[in-house]
Amino acid sequence: MSGDEEDKGGTETARGERIAKWLARAGVASRRDAERLIAEGRVALNRRRVETPATFVRPGDVVAVDGRPVAPPERTRLFRYHKPPGLVTTHRDPQGRPTVFERLPPGLPRLVSVGRLDLTSEGLLLLTNDGALARRLELPAQGWLRRYRVRVYGKLDERDLAALAKGVTIDGVAYGPIEAALDSRHGLISWLTVSLREGKNREIRRVMEHLGLQVTRLIRVAYGPFQLGSLPRGAVEEVSPKVLREQLGLEVAPP
């Protein structure tokens, strides 16, 4: 029977799966947010309130959040999505703005995003039904390069762009090395290719503003090995299990 006690002589596979990880893979929330749901008393296992994240779920167990049963996790799936500007990367927005998840095509599982793109940004956004995978791909330790095409307005000095390779500190916030190259320039309007590995909140906009440049368009074209390519705006395309095995080392059952 599943419960809070841990069989120290067995493996997690034998005992089941920790409930926070199970909820993350089910797409309910990230593992951290799942632990918060548990702390708030909103999670039940086989009709009993879960008291600790050190609770294991086994096949056949029934998990509920806020009284609603949660479907067992599906096979891990990852999708490329071409986010249009004007959408918030969240499931619900207190200000009532349209969200990414409201605009997804029908028939998809419940998904969470790998990182975010802000309201006016566009381009490649990775989506997955596995919250644990999303957290793994977001970690700076992953070391994945995020590449953007950026349109800026203002007087541009290429020496300022080159200096970003050493990192920069703005208002007490240290940003790591940024690769920025000029692609084209027409008067005060320039297109840049910008690559970074950390991806802090509004990092590119803040760094460009620090250089006296206003970002007028920001398009993410790559996240690690995954490319936006020719994916149409608003379209979603699933990453094949073969690519998940090759790029992420995941053993994923075929559809």
Catalytic residue, from 33, 61, 118, 160: name it.
Answer: 118
Question: What gap in Å lies between CA 79 and CA 77, rounded to an integer?
Answer: 7
State how far Cα 21 lies from the chain centre.
Answer: 16
CA distances from 168 to 154, 163, 195, 249 (A): 20, 8, 14, 34
Residues 6+ apart with CB under 8 A from 236: 79, 80, 81, 82, 104, 105, 108, 127
Q: What angle do CA 181, 183, 184 make, to 5 degrees?
A: 135
Residues 6+ apart with CB under 8 A from 123: 82, 83, 117, 148, 149, 218, 219, 220, 221, 228
Confirm whether 157 is a catalytic residue.
Answer: no
Question: What gap in Å lies between CA 254 and CA 241, rounded to an integer?
Answer: 6
Q: Which residues are catalytic?
A: 118
